[in-house]
Structure formats: C-alpha cells, structure tokens
C-alpha cells in the first residue's frame, strides 16, 4: 500500500463547468449580463465542482504575478 498519497482521491483536472446565465460585475458595479458562462477548472474535487455549479455567486480573482486582459503593458 502506498502511503504517499497527498491529495484527495476524487480529484479531477481540466473540467469545463457550465455556470449558466450570470450578471457580470466588477466590485459592486454591474457591467453587463452573459447568456451562458463556462469556465475550465484546472484542478478540483468532484464535491467542489458540485458546489461551484450550484453557487449563487462566485468570485474570479486574478492571482498575483499573472498577466491578463486590461493591464497596461
């Protein structure tokens, strides 16, 4: 038996989660709406994916050091 297991057994990778229609906000400001939003989750557990799909509100937070749209060059 391998005792070096470091993560959850039900871990999944690269899964697309359909979140359905959403209001798009930045802070407290409504920027628009989306008919359907899907995100690709790099790594999660099956339980966390169920929670994500059922969540009324989710937050997307850019990780420090990552580049992305809207930044000055």
Q: Which DSSP symbol is given to 62?
A: P
37 touches 53 (CB < 8 A): no
**What digits encode the pLDDT tens for the residues 5-60?**
555 568 999 999 999 999 999 999 999 999 999 999 999 999 999 999 999 999 98
- How far apart, in Å, are the Cα atoms of 49 and each of 1, 18, 35, 55? 29, 10, 20, 10
Cα–Cα distance measured from residue 60 to residue 40, given in angstroms and rounded to the nearest whole number: 12
Question: What are the residue boundaries of the structural domains of the chain, listed by start?
Answer: 11-54
pTM (2 d.p.):
0.65
Cα–Cα distance measured from residue 24 to residue 39, given in angstroms and rounded to the nearest whole number: 14
72 confidence band (pLDDT: 50, 70, 90): low
């Amino acid at each position: 038996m391998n005792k070096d297991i470091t993560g959850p057994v039900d871990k999944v990778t690269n899964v697309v989660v359909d979140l359905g229609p959403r209001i798009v906000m930045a802070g407290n400001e409504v920027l628009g709406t989306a008919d359907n939003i899907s995100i690709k989750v790099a790594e999660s557990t099956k339980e966390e994916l169920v929670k994500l799909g059922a969540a009324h509100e989710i937050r997307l937070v850019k990780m420090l050091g990552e580049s992305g749209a809207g930044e000055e060059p």
